[in-house]
Chains A and B, each alone.
Chain A
Amino acid sequence: AQKVTQAQTEISVVEKEDVTLDCVYETRDTTYYLFWYKQPPSGELVFLIRRNSFDEQNEISGRYSWNFQKSTSSFNFTITASQVVDSAVYFCALRGDSNYQLIWGAGTKLIIKP
Chain B
Amino acid sequence: DSGVTQTPKHLITATGQRVTLRCSPRSGDLSVYWYQQSLDQGLQFLIQYYNGEERAKGNILERFSAQQFPDLHSELNLSSLELGDSALYFCASSAPGTGNSPLHFGNGTRLTVT
Bitwise, B86-113 to A at CB < 8 A (1) or not (0) is: 0010101000000110111111101000
> For the complex, what is the distance from the CA of A102 to the CA of B43, rounded to whole Å?
11
* Interface presence of A8 (CB below 8 A): no
Interface size on B, residues (CB 8 A): 19
> For the complex, what is the distance from the CA of A45 to the CA of B56, rounded to whole Å?
21
Partner of B102, one of A47, A97, A101: A47
- A-B CB contacts (within 8 Å), total count: 49
Bitwise, B1-25 to A at CB < 8 A (1) or not (0) is: 0100000000000000000000000
Q: For B88, what are the chain A residues with a Cβ–Cβ distance below 8 Å?
A: 43
Q: For B90, what are the chain A residues with a Cβ–Cβ distance below 8 Å?
A: 45
In this complex, the member of B2, B88, B90, B102 whose beta carbon has the largest number of chain A beta carbons within 10 angstroms is: B102
> For the complex, what is the distance from the CA of A95 to the CA of B92, rounded to whole Å?
15
Indicate if the CB atoms of A44 and B108 lie closer than 8 Å.
yes
Indicate if the CB atoms of A33 and B100 lie closer than 8 Å.
yes
Indicate if the CB atoms of B108 and A43 lie closer than 8 Å.
yes
Shortest Cβ-Cβ A-B pairs, 8 listed:
A45-B105, A33-B100, A100-B99, A47-B102, A44-B107, A95-B99, A106-B42, A104-B43
Q: Using a CB–CB distance below 8 Å, which chain B residues touch chain A?
A: 2, 33, 42-43, 45, 56, 88, 90, 92, 99-100, 102-108, 110
